[in-house]
Amino acid sequence: MSEYSLAVAVSNPASVDPLIRMGGALAQANDGSLSITSVTELPAQIPVTADEELASQQEAIIERALSVADSLGVPAEGHTPPSHRPARSIVSLVENTDASGLLVGADERIPFEESLIGRTALERIIKQVPCDVFVEQIGPAPAVPGDSVLVPVADGAHTDTVLEAASDIGKAADMRVHLVTVVSPAADIHTIEQTEQRLRTHLATRIDSAGEVLAIPGESVVETLVDLTGDHDVTVLGGTEASTLTQLLSGTVPAGLAKRSQNTLLLVTDGP
């Protein structure tokens, strides 16, 4: 297996294709591989080897995931560990494979204590894994491959990782990367030019694919970006603070886009 390995946790059959396509793009751009796991929580009273139906469901998910990875030309291996502690199993996979990153779905039926993004067990995973974490909120249409990647840039704590992820997606899927900063409606020409020059520097030095830059005036950053998401296939966005999911979504912009984005949203948080 390659030095770059991305762990992908998937348990919802409907999420297999979009998660593996996204993971495949991130791995492919780095000549890497995928370590895919389907982890389902067993009741404490059931031995981990006892539920044959559950094991069959997990194997079917992994077989589908490996088939998608193979169609993309991305090396992959599958893991199906039934577990009483699925969060610990995911952390162990990351540690045992020395993964460079972890990709999970925001709407997965992964058996965390609560199933939606921002809940306790997923936060524990993010705190414990020694790598970057990507949380994909799957949109109404396929995101990868597509035509364009939207990247709101505010030079926050996760900017480097966000730009790297956007570059990887653009490079692997031949998608244009659009770097955007929302400025005040009262911004003068000098401010707009300075902002776009900063974005052009990011594009020239950090993005390994074709792209464009735009400083767009807007009364509301969230409203402006929500409108823009309808014109792109995927939005790559970082948090504003340290690497926990609560902090990732604590800012108005990440929270607003997580609720209202019209495309697939990839939320990025840095590893330690």
Per residue in 177-229, pLDDT tens? 999 999 999 999 999 999 999 999 999 999 999 999 999 999 998 899 999 99
pLDDT in the model for residue 83 = 60
pLDDT in the model for residue 5 = 95
pLDDT in the model for residue 105 = 85
| Cα–Cα distance list, 20 to 28, 56, 177, 233, 243 (Å) | 11, 20, 20, 16, 23
Tokens 């997965």 identify what position? 108
pLDDT in the model for residue 239 = 60
pLDDT in the model for residue 2 = 53
Q: CA neighbours within 13 Å on the CB side: how many for 238?
A: 22
Please give the structure tokens belonging to residue 4.
Answer: 């770059």
From first to last of the 272 residues of the chain, give the pLDDT tens digit: 458 999 999 888 889 999 999 999 999 999 999 999 987 655 555 555 555 666 788 889 999 999 999 999 999 999 876 665 677 788 888 998 999 999 998 765 433 333 334 445 667 777 788 999 998 989 888 899 999 999 999 876 778 999 999 999 999 999 999 999 999 999 999 999 999 999 999 999 999 999 999 999 999 988 999 999 999 999 999 864 433 444 444 456 777 887 888 999 998 888 76
How many whole angstroms separate alpha carbon 221 and alpha carbon 16? 32
Percent of the chain with pLDDT over 70: 79
Instruction: List, in order of start, the domains of the chain with CATH numbers.
Output: 5-137 (3.40.50.620), 148-269 (3.40.50.620)
Please give the structure tokens belonging to residue 34.
Answer: 């995928």
Please give the structure tokens belonging to residue 7.
Answer: 């762990």
Four-residue CA torsion sign, 118, 123, 125, 128: positive
How many whole angstroms separate alpha carbon 92 and alpha carbon 158? 24
pLDDT in the model for residue 248 = 47
pLDDT in the model for residue 41 = 58
CA angle (208 as vertex; 146, 218 as ends), nearest 5: 65
pTM equals 0.86
**In this structure, how many other beta carbons lie within 10 angstroms of the beta carbon of residue 54?**
17
pLDDT in the model for residue 255 = 74
pLDDT in the model for residue 257 = 84
Q: Tell whether omega for the bond before 145 is within 30 degrees of 0, i.e. cis.
A: yes
